[in-house]
């Protein structure tokens, strides 16, 4: 049976997970959330954690490292918070039972994420017209699932794909789209305005969903959504609900990651770096007012509709 799943890295250990995240080999909000769950699962299965205190200390240690690497990723925060809270809540269990149940929780996080992405792929594919054109920005494994599903549905379409500087991770999307047999127009980020009139709609991935409907994603997403207003093009973000950051309900802003300046410039680009600040802002926030809908496993939702589904999602993760 054909599947729209984009496979995760085959992680060997918790430290291997951290290494792959640091090296930017994990790509997309959903894979980041699953990779965090993999880190906890592998640590519990492989490491010497004979007591509750040792287990809890390792969970907290991994939580800090994961956050330090990718502070913008709500999926990492959610995986870490859910696992740590589960361990705290069940501290009276035997260490054997606690390890077994925590591993099961991690496995649920991983599998439910895949199931959510597969389900929303169907809804997203329905939005793509046969013979139509979609514009995208940055790589998203969730978005790739939508394109794969649309291909399985027998549709032919064109994707206008911005390169997504400075790392140009959209090149990974081109490879998958070529494998699907779909036409790709690969453009510079600065060309979005010129090519947007050719698109029927814009679909982007998401790294964090806010409870007010705003979406944090790769730098340039907010700009594209703003341009789309002038072009009268609908803008969708594809995201499993697990990317919802509930901290935003209480006024906490999304922590937007900045990366090394050396991804933007080289040491010999300028005679001197005196009085020069190079900022590699990696994420921005698109306001809900510029978003037509959020494609989730619960359907294509108005940006303000997401929060009521949250408790249902969390309850499903703790099922046996």
Tens digit of pLDDT for each residue in 55-68?
A: 999 999 999 999 99
In a domain, 3, yes or no: no
Q: Are residues 163 and 257 in the same domain?
A: yes
Q: Are residues 103 and 143 in the same domain?
A: no
| Mean pLDDT (whole number) for 277-285 | 96
Q: How far is CA 171 from the centre of its chain?
A: 17
Q: Are residues 150 and 276 in the same domain?
A: yes
In a domain, 262, yes or no: yes
In a domain, 228, yes or no: yes
Q: Are residues 238 and 260 in the same domain?
A: yes
- Segment 72-92, tens digit of pLDDT: 788 999 999 999 999 999 999
| Mean pLDDT (whole number) for 149-171 | 96
| Mean pLDDT (whole number) for 161-184 | 96
Q: Range of 84's domain?
A: 14-117
> CA triplet 263, 238, 172: central angle to 5 degrees?
40
Q: Domain boundary residue among 98, 117, 136?
A: 117
In this structure, what token pair is assigned to residue 180?
A: 């699907």
317: pLDDT confidence band, cut at 50, 70 and 90?
A: confident
In a domain, 4, yes or no: no
In a domain, 7, yes or no: no
Q: Domain boundary residue among 117, 152, 181?
A: 117
Prior bond to 166 cis, omega within 30? yes
- Segment 223-239, tens digit of pLDDT: 999 999 999 999 999 99
Q: Domain boundary residue among 94, 117, 140?
A: 117
For residue 303, give the CATH number of its domain: 3.40.50.10470
Give 209-222 as a 3 state SS string: EECCCCEEEECCHH
Q: Are residues 172 and 95 in the same domain?
A: no
Locus of tokens 């594809």:
238
Q: Are residues 88 and 174 in the same domain?
A: no
Q: What pLDDT does 1 receive?
A: 41
| pTM score | 0.87
Q: What pLDDT does 73 receive?
A: 85
| Mean pLDDT (whole number) for 29-56 | 95
In a domain, 104, yes or no: yes
- Segment 101-157, tens digit of pLDDT: 999 999 999 999 999 999 999 999 999 999 999 999 999 989 999 999 999 999 999
Counted domains in the chain: 2
Name the least confident of 7-16, 254-263, 310-319.
Answer: 310-319
Q: What pLDDT does 138 receive?
A: 93
CB 147 within 8 A of CB 176: yes
**How far apart (Å, rounded) are the C-alpha atoms in residues 282 and 272?**
24
Mean pLDDT over the full length of the chain: 94
In a domain, 8, yes or no: no
In a domain, 92, yes or no: yes
Q: Are residues 133 and 259 in the same domain?
A: yes
Question: What's the count of helices (H) and strands (E) in the chain, helices before strands?
Answer: 10, 13
Q: Are residues 288 and 203 in the same domain?
A: yes
Query: Residue 316: is its pLDDT beyond 90?
Result: no
Q: Are residues 223 and 83 in the same domain?
A: no
Q: Are residues 144 and 268 in the same domain?
A: yes
**How far apart (Å, rounded) are the C-alpha atoms in residues 170 and 136?**
9
Q: How many angstroms separate the most distant Cα atoms in the chain?
A: 63
CB atoms within 10 A of CB 154: 7
Q: What pLDDT does 46 receive?
A: 97
Q: What pLDDT does 28 receive?
A: 76
Identify the CA nearest to 303 among candidates 224, 211, 220, 228.
Answer: 211
Q: Are residues 107 and 158 in the same domain?
A: no
2: pLDDT confidence band, cut at 50, 70 and 90?
A: low
Q: Could you give the percent of the chain with pLDDT greater than 90?
A: 86
For residue 89, give the CATH number of its domain: 1.20.120.420
Q: Are residues 126 and 261 in the same domain?
A: yes
* Exposed e or buried b per residue across 269-293, where buried means at least 16 C-beta atoms within 10 angstroms of its C-beta: eeeeeeeeeeebebbbbbebebbbb
Query: Residue 245: is its pLDDT beyond 60?
Result: yes
């Amino acid at each position: 049976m054909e599947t729209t799943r984009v496979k995760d890295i085959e992680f060997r250990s918790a430290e291997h997970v951290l290494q792959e995240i640091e090296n930017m080999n994990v790509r997309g909000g959903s894979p980041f959330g699953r990779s965090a769950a993999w880190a906890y699962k592998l640590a519990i299965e492989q490491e010497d954690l004979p007591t509750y205190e040792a287990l809890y200390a390792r969970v907290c240690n991994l939580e800090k490292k994961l956050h330090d690497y990718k502070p913008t990723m709500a999926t990492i925060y959610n995986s870490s918070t859910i696992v740590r809270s589960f361990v705290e809540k069940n501290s009276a269990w035997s260490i054997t039972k606690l390890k077994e149940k925590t591993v099961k929780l991690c496995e649920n996080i991983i599998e439910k994420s895949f199931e959510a992405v597969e389900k929303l792929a169907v809804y997203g594919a329905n939005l793509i017209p046969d013979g139509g054109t979609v514009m995208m920005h940055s790589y998203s494994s969730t978005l790739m699932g939508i394109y794969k599903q649309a291909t399985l549905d027998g549709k032919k379409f064109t994707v206008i794909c911005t390169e997504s500087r400075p790392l140009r991770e959209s090149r990974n999307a081109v490879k998958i789209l070529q494998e699907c047999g779909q036409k790709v127009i690969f453009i510079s980020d600065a060309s979005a305005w010129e090519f947007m009139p050719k698109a029927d709609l814009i679909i982007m991935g998401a790294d964090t969903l806010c409870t007010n409907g705003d979406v944090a994603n790769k730098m340039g997403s907010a700009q594209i959504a703003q341009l789309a207003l002038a072009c009268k093009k609908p803008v969708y973000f594809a995201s499993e609900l697990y990317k919802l950051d509930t901290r935003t309900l209480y006024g906490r802003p999304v922590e937007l990651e900045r990366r090394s300046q050396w991804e933007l410039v080289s040491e010999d680009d300028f005679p001197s770096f005196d009085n020069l600040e190079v900022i590699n802002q990696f994420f921005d926030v698109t306001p809900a007012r510029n978003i037509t809908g959020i494609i989730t496993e619960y359907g294509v939702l108005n940006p303000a509709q997401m929060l009521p589904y949250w408790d249902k999602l969390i309850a499903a993760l703790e099922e046996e």
